[in-house]
Structures are given as C-alpha cells and as structure tokens.
Amino acid sequence: MEATHVICCPTSPNDGKRVRLVSEHGYNPRTDAYERGWVEVEMVETGVTGSIERRFLAEVQ
C-alpha cells in the first residue's frame, strides 16, 4: 500500500502521518453526514481508517 497524502495539522497527534485515500466522501461528525469536504483515509503504518477534512491533507509527490 502506497501513501498518496500526508496529514498536515500541527495540533493533531497524526500530523505528518502518511495516508492513502479510501473514499472521496468522508464522515463529518459535526453534521452526522458524509460530505465531499471530508475524505476517508487509511494510515499506511497502521492500517487504521478514519475520516479527515480534505484541507488537512497534502499530496505526496
């Protein structure tokens, strides 16, 4: 499994972790709905999946 993005959120314990996109729509816990502004990701190191706001991701080059 290859990383496609890295988490860029200095206040998060997951800052700098490499992830790959699983789904273009992720779960927004504030609205209790799946939205385009969120994506579902899988962490490369652990295989843990979850949703994150798209703005907190940067593409791996």
Tens digits of residue pLDDT in 32-48: 999 999 999 999 989 99
- Based on the structure, what is the number of domains in the chain? 1
In the prediction, which pLDDT does 41 show?
97
Chain-centre distance of CA 12, in angstroms? Answer: 12
Which residue range is the domain that position 46 belongs to?
5-59
Pairing assessment for the beta strands 26-28 and 49-53 based on DSSP bridges: unpaired
DSSP 60: -
The C-alpha atoms of residue 27 and residue 10 are separated, in whole angstroms, by 21
Look up the CATH number of the domain holding residue 13.
2.30.30
For 5-34, the pLDDT digits (tens) are: 999 999 999 999 999 999 999 999 999 999
For residue 24, the one-letter residue type is E
Backbone angles phi, psi at 51, to 5 degrees: -110, 150
pLDDT at 1 over 80: no
